[in-house]
C-alpha cells in the first residue's frame, strides 16, 4: 500500500485552512485526520480509491464522498463516515455509458444522449455488481450517473472503477458545494478531499426511476422536471414515458443513536428492510441551527413566537424579505439572487445555508418562501420547484408568519 504522506503534511493543511479561513470551522479539541489532494494529483486520488479509501471529489452538482463501488468494506466506510442509515442507497458514478455496471435497457442510450454527462441519475436493476445488496439498500436497483465535471470525469477515467458517492456531508446536514464544506464535516475522519472550486449547479442531481411506461422522479434536483419532459417529448424512443412526480416528505424513523448502533454493529445482511423511495426524508439539507420559512399568507396562524432579529440570519430572494420585515439593520443578511434569477439562487442556496450557520450568535435562519410568495418575475422558471423543495426540507417544513413586527408559528 502506498503511503501518500504529503496529503497530510502540516504545511498543506495550513495553506488549505488559510485559503478557506472564512468558511472553515473546526473543534480545537478534535484531531484532523483528513488529507488534501491537489488537482495535479488525481492519479493519487485514483490509487486511493483502489486501496479502498474514501475520496471526496467535486461534481457539477455537489461534492461527493466516493469509494470503490466494488469494495464492500469501502462502501460501508461511506455509511460510517456520514452516519447514514444503511437503508439509504448510494449513487454509482461512471465515466462511460457503455460500462454502467447495471443491466442496460434498450432506452438507456437515448437517455444517455439527452442527459449525460449531467445532473441525471437513473435507477436501474443491477445484477452485475457483487456489492449491489449494500449499494442499493436491498432494492436490487442502483442509481447511475455520469457527472458533468472535468475533475470528476478525469478521476473516474483514471481510476477506471465504478465510484459510489453520496453527497459529502454528514447525514441530514447541508450538501457541500465547496471543499471547505466537506472539510468541516469530515476533518476528524480519514477522508481525502480533492480541492477544486465551487460546484456549478449548487444542488444535487435529479433521480429518476423508469417503471413500465412511467418515469418516476424520486428526487428533484438541478435538472428540472420541465426540461426532462420537454426533451423526452422530442425523442421518438422516449416519448412514451409519462413523468410521475410526487413530493414525499418522510420523517426519519431511526434516531441518531439507532443509526450509530446499526453502523457500529454493521451487519449488512440483517439490516432493516429498505424504503420504497429512500432518501426523501423531511429533515434534509439542514443547517445546524433552527430554520424557518417566512410566510406572509395568513391561512394557518398559530401562537406568537419570540424571535430576536439580531440573532437571526435572513436568506432572501431579490429583496422580498428586506422590503417587508422591519428593523433589519442588525440582522445578518444574504440574498440568493438580487436579480430574481432562480438559477443563481440554486447555485447559492447551500452555500448560503452553510454561511448562515457560521454566523456568530445566530440562533435561527429565516428563509424566503418560494412556495407561496414566488415573485411574478420567476413564476414560470422551471428551477423554482427544486429550490422550493430544498428550502422546505432545510426548514424541516417549519413556517412562520410575519406581521407588524411580530412572528407567529404556522400550523
- Which residue in the set 138, 143, 202, 318 belongs to the binding site for ligand TXA (CB under 6 A)? 143
Please tell me whether the peptide bond between 117 and the residue prior to it is cis, using omega within 30 degrees of 0: yes
Q: Which is nearer to ligand TXA, 280 or 386 (CB)?
A: 280
Q: Which is nearer to Mg ion, 141 or 312 (CB)?
A: 141
Residue 29's φ and ψ, nearest 5 degrees, are -85, -10
| 136 lines the binding site for ligand TXA (CB under 6 A) | yes
Q: Which is nearer to ligand TXA, 205 or 364 (CB)?
A: 205
Q: Which is nearer to ligand TXA, 353 or 362 (CB)?
A: 353
| 139 lines the binding site for Mg ion (CB under 5 A) | no
Q: Which is nearer to ligand TXA, 27 or 246 (CB)?
A: 246
| Residues between 169 and 228 with contacts to ligand TXA, criterion CB under 6 A | 204-205, 207, 218-219
Other Cβ atoms less than 10 A from the Cβ of 73: the count is 11
CB 48 within 8 A of CB 55: yes
**286 DSSP assignment:** B
CB 302 within 8 A of CB 410: yes
- Which residue in the set 46, 48, 67, 123 belongs to the binding site for ligand TXA (CB under 6 A)? 123
Order of strands across the sheet that contains 332-335: 301-305, 406-410, 399-403, 290-295, 364-368, 312-316, 332-335
- Which residue in the set 59, 148, 167, 394 belongs to the binding site for Mg ion (CB under 5 A)? 167
- Which residue in the set 16, 37, 53, 89 belongs to the binding site for ligand TXA (CB under 6 A)? 89
Complete DSSP assignment for 227-240: HHHHHHHT-TTTTT
**Which of ligand TXA, Mg ion, none does residue 139 bind to, with CB < 5 to 8 Å depending on kind?**
ligand TXA
Residue 227, Cβ density class (10 Å: 0-12 exposed, 13-18 middle, ≥19 buried):
middle
C-alpha cell at 77: 466506510
| 87 lines the binding site for Mg ion (CB under 5 A) | no
Residues forming the site for ligand TXA (CB under 6 A): 59, 61-62, 64, 88-91, 119, 121, 123, 136, 139, 141-143, 145, 147, 165-167, 204-205, 207, 218-219, 278-280
Amino acid at each position: 500500500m502506498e503511503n501518500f504522506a504529503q496529503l497530510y503534511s502540516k504545511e498543506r493543511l495550513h495553506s488549505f485552512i488559510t485559503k478557506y479561513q472564512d468558511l472553515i470551522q473546526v473543534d480545537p479539541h478534535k484531531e484532523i485526520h483528513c488529507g488534501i489532494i491537489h488537482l495535479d494529483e488525481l492519479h493519487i486520488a485514483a490509487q486511493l480509491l483502489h486501496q479502498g479509501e474514501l475520496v471526496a471529489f467535486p461534481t457539477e452538482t455537489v461534492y461527493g464522498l466516493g469509494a470503490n463501488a466494488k469494495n464492500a468494506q469501502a462502501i460501508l466506510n461511506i455509511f460510517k463516515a456520514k452516519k447514514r442509515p444503511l437503508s439509504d442507497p448510494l449513487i454509482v458514478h461512471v465515466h462511460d455509458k457503455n460500462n454502467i455496471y447495471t443491466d442496460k435497457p434498450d432506452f438507456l442510450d437515448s437517455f444517455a444522449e439527452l442527459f449525460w454527462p449531467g445532473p441525471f441519475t437513473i435507477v436501474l436493476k443491477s445484477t452485475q455488481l457483487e456489492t449491489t445488496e449494500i449499494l442499493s439498500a436491498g432494492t436490487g436497483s442502483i442509481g447511475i450517473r455520469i457527472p458533468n465535471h472535468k475533475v470528476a470525469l478525469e478521476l473516474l477515467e483514471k481510476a477506471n472503477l465504478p465510484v459510489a458517492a453520496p453527497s459529502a456531508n454528514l447525514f441530514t446536514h447541508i450538501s457541500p458545494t465547496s471543499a471547505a464544506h466537506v472539510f468541516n464535516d469530515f476533518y476528524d475522519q480519514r477522508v481525502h478531499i480533492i480541492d477544486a472550486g465551487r460546484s456549478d449547479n449548487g444542488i444535487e442531481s435529479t433521480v429518476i426511476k423508469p417503471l413500465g411506461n412511467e418515469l418516476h422522479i424520486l428526487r428533484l434536483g438541478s435538472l428540472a422536471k420541465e426540461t426532462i419532459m420537454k426533451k423526452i417529448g422530442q425523442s421518438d424512443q422516449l416519448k412514451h414515458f409519462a413523468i410521475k412526480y410526487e413530493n414525499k416528505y418522510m420523517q426519519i424513523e431511526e434516531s441518531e443513536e439507532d443509526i450509530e448502533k446499526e453502523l457500529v454493529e454493521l451487519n449488512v445482511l440483517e439490516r432493516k428492510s429498505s424504503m420504497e423511495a429512500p432518501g426523501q426524508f423531511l429533515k434534509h439539507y439542514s443547517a445546524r441551527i433552527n430554520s424557518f420559512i417566512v410566510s406572509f399568507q395568513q391561512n394557518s396562524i398559530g401562537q406568537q413566537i419570540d424571535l430576536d432579529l439580531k440573532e437571526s440570519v435572513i436568506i432572501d430572494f431579490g429583496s422580498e424579505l428586506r422590503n417587508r420585515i422591519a428593523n433589519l439593520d442588525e440582522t445578518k443578511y444574504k440574498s440568493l439572487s438580487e436579480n430574481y434569477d432562480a438559477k443563481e439562487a440554486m447555485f447559492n442556496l447551500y452555500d448560503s445555508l452553510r454561511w448562515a450557520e457560521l454566523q456568530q450568535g445566530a440562533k435561527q435562519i429565516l428563509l424566503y418562501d418560494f412556495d407561496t410568495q414566488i415573485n411574478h418575475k420567476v413564476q414560470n422558471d422551471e428551477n423554482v420547484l427544486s429550490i422550493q423543495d430544498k428550502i422546505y426540507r432545510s426548514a424541516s417544513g417549519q413556517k412562520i408568519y410575519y406581521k407588524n413586527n411580530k412572528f407567529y408559528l404556522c400550523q
